[in-house]
Amino acid sequence: MVTLPILPGATVVVRDERSIYNGYKGFVQRISGRMAAVLFEGGNWDKLVTLPLTTLESV
């Protein structure tokens, strides 16, 4: 299996059992160091959350 790089604009899924966002799909807005700002959209709400890159998986 080829692992895709996580870059701004990529669609990712959160893979962290301890996170309330586990399993959520979002879009990477920006990357700074080892963290990524991920935008989650759902119906009538949008949420921008900063998460470690190690907890994200490319879709």
Nearest one of 55, 52, 57, 9 to 30, comparing CA atoms: 9
pLDDT band at 5 (very low <50, low <70, confident <90, very high): confident
Nearest one of 34, 33, 1, 32 to 56, comparing CA atoms: 34
**Neighbour-count burial for 41-50, b at 16+ CB within 10 Å, e otherwise:** eeeeeeeebe
pLDDT band at 56 (very low <50, low <70, confident <90, very high): very high
pLDDT band at 4 (very low <50, low <70, confident <90, very high): confident
The domain segmentation of the chain, as residue ranges, is 11-58
Selecting from 2.60.15.10, 2.60.40.10, 2.30.30.140, 1.20.120.160, what CATH number does the domain 11-58 have? 2.30.30.140
pLDDT tens string 7-52: 999 999 999 999 999 999 999 999 999 999 999 998 888 999 999 9
The pTM assigned to this predicted structure is: 0.88
pLDDT the model gives residue 57:
95
Nearest one of 5, 26, 29, 4 to 15, comparing CA atoms: 26
